[in-house]
Amino acid sequence: MAKQKSEKGIEKIGKGLTRFQTPHTYAIIFFVVLFCWALTFIVPAGKFNTETISYEDSNGDIKERTVLNSDSFRYDYALDNALLSTELNKLVQDVDQLTALGVDQAALTEFLATDPTTWDQGQLDDLGLTDAVIFDLYGNSVFDTSQKNHKVAKIWGTDDYDGFGFMNYIFEGLVTGSKYGSAVGIVALILVVGGSFGIIMKTGAIDAGIYAFISKTRGLERLALPLLFFMFSLGGATFGMSEEVIPFAMIMVPFVIALGYDSIVAVTVTFVASQVGNATSWMSPFSVAVAQGIAGIPVLSGASFRLIMWFVVTAAAAAYMMVYAERIRKHPEKSVMHHADSYFRDRIAQTGEGGKKFTLGDKLILLEMLIVLIWIIWGVTEKAYYIPEIASQFFVMGFVAGVIAVIFKLNGMTINGMASAFQSGASDLAGTAIVVGMAKGILLVLGGADAAVASTLNTVLHSIGTALNGLPKVVAAWIMYVFQSLFNLVVTSNSGQAALTMPIMAPLSDIVGVSRQVAVLAYQLGSGFVDAFTPVSASLIGVLGVARIDWMNWAKFQIKMQGFFFAIGSIFVIAAVLINFQ
């Protein structure tokens, strides 16, 4: 009896440890938010002046982008109004300077007649004397530098009521941005795509098509996966494929599982492959082209080195995937997703056991899907379609598939059935959409990604840049790569990371003796590979939601692959320094 109690106790502890070791994605993000909030108490807020630079994009057009001025960093200090009053009383007499600044002399004279102790930055902004202008004119001489300010979020609150509080990070994260980006745009895309594929899956066309394909191509699966990996990697390398993978994953997950693999292989052959392409791209307009433009080097330069790197890394990553995939194919029970994947296996089995024919209606739906996917790729590459257009295209895909299903009476589809299927598909991904907002909340707690607004993130960015000064070339370049990888855990936008980091890393590379091309390489490798791991990535979370994979289960597999990627990335960065990659 005592032994039985002891065994039950051990079993209970074991279960408790298992639960502790695999926290929910929501819990992980909450503790990351809590850590970032604590960090803001320790690290003072800092900011940069920003400037607009022009650069030539991959099409030869002149584009503009706002970037930070790496020499303008300063901590957030309170204004010393007495000293500022003295300087502004001098400035008001200088008509030429006021004209150059765009400051109205009469308005400034009226302002100077007020009590300096009541002045604040908002009033100065109204006059045209922004924080950046004041710093350019007087440096830190008109600030109280005895104490560095911290930008710490309150416990509760909103931007509209009493200031942002970290306990409201979910709502504030969800409503940030616009329809063109995270989080609002990505959330809407996920819900629309989920609803559209809810209709498509309800028709049964994909299940029927997969079963028909599998029944006719037994033994060819080992050729299909590497080919698909290269295709998705090429998509990442050429047009920065990322959010676009989410709907593709809805097709690929059941397909790959039907081949005898698991959902982890499905996500790897789609999303991970696209991020390998992003990381090693020679022409992506959203990553390497932007970074090179900001760094002041010819856009698309160094393409030969990057083309070789893309092929080598893609081939190595595909081989890594196949080693895992074959182990799972031979021993499916070894997959951490074996039980969860039964959802997809059961659907395929039911289709096969029912002897469902691959009808004309099924074929028309799959053909229509192929046409829309080609339309999307054309739109992204030729017309610069982005989130709003892509979401609309996928709605068209789902709607037309539903109409075809109604006409051919597939799975008893009706108009009401289409509406219910859309609702069901959207609800399946609602939890994933919430994660996108939660992840955005991390950035908000750190003060946001605006270089001109005082934040903890800006101070961390400046500190890393300063720490690299004086190091040997190879070591400095490698640390740049490490830093860009870690930075991507928080800021997952490729162009956003380029705008924040390249104005610091490009001139820093000149100081430490490595080429700016190497600085760009460190950026793109760091920002690309880690996107396949970080729970802050909206695109990754969207794909995992489609595949019904909890992030912790994904991390168990991906952490090893990230080590593999990091080793390859380090080799290429070091090699680039040694050959003086220009």
Dist CA 83 CA 103 (whole Å): 19
Dist CA 549 CA 557 (whole Å): 11
What confidence tens digit (pLDDT) does each residue in 391-425 have?
899 899 999 999 999 999 998 899 999 999 999 98
- Over residues 67-72, mean pLDDT: 79
What confidence tens digit (pLDDT) does each residue in 204-244 have?
887 777 677 766 766 666 788 998 899 889 888 877 788 77
- Over residues 192-211, mean pLDDT: 83
Q: In the structure, what pLDDT confidence band is assigned to residue 7 with cuts at 50, 70 and 90?
A: very low
Instruction: At 287, give phi and psi (nearest 5°).
Output: -130, -80
3-state secondary structure 281-344: CCCCCCCHHHHHHHHCCCCCCCHHHHHHHHHHHHHHHHHHHHHHHHHHHHCHHHCCCCCCCHHH
Q: In the structure, what pLDDT confidence band is assigned to residue 508 with cuts at 50, 70 and 90?
A: confident
What share of the chain has pLDDT > 90, as a percent? Answer: 42
Which pLDDT value is given to residue 561?
A: 96
Predicted confidence (pLDDT) at residue 57 exceeds the cutoff of 80:
no
Report the chain's mean pLDDT, rounded to a whole number. 85
Q: Is the pTM of this model over 0.75?
A: no
Give the other-Cβ count within 10 Å of 126's Cβ: 11
Which pLDDT value is given to residue 212?
A: 75
Our CA angle for 284, 177, 198, nearest 5°, is 80
More confident residue, 397 or 186: 397
- The gap from C-alpha 386 to its chain's centroid, in whole angstroms, comes to 15
Which pLDDT value is given to residue 285?
A: 65
3-state secondary structure 67-126: EECHHHCEECCEECHHHHHHHHHHHCCCHHHHHHHCCCHHHHHHHHCCCHHHCCHHHHHH
Domain ranges of the chain: 77-147, 183-282+322-412
Choice among 205-219, 272-286, 524-538, 554-568 with the minimum mean pLDDT: 205-219
What confidence tens digit (pLDDT) does each residue in 123-177 have?
999 999 998 899 989 999 999 999 999 999 999 988 788 788 989 999 998 998 8
Residue given tokens 């982008």 in the structure block: 65
104-108, 394-398, 564-568: which has the highest mean pLDDT?
A: 564-568
Dist CA 265 CA 258 (whole Å): 12
Choice among 196-200, 233-237, 386-390, 473-477 with the minimum mean pLDDT: 386-390
Which pLDDT value is given to residue 413?
A: 93
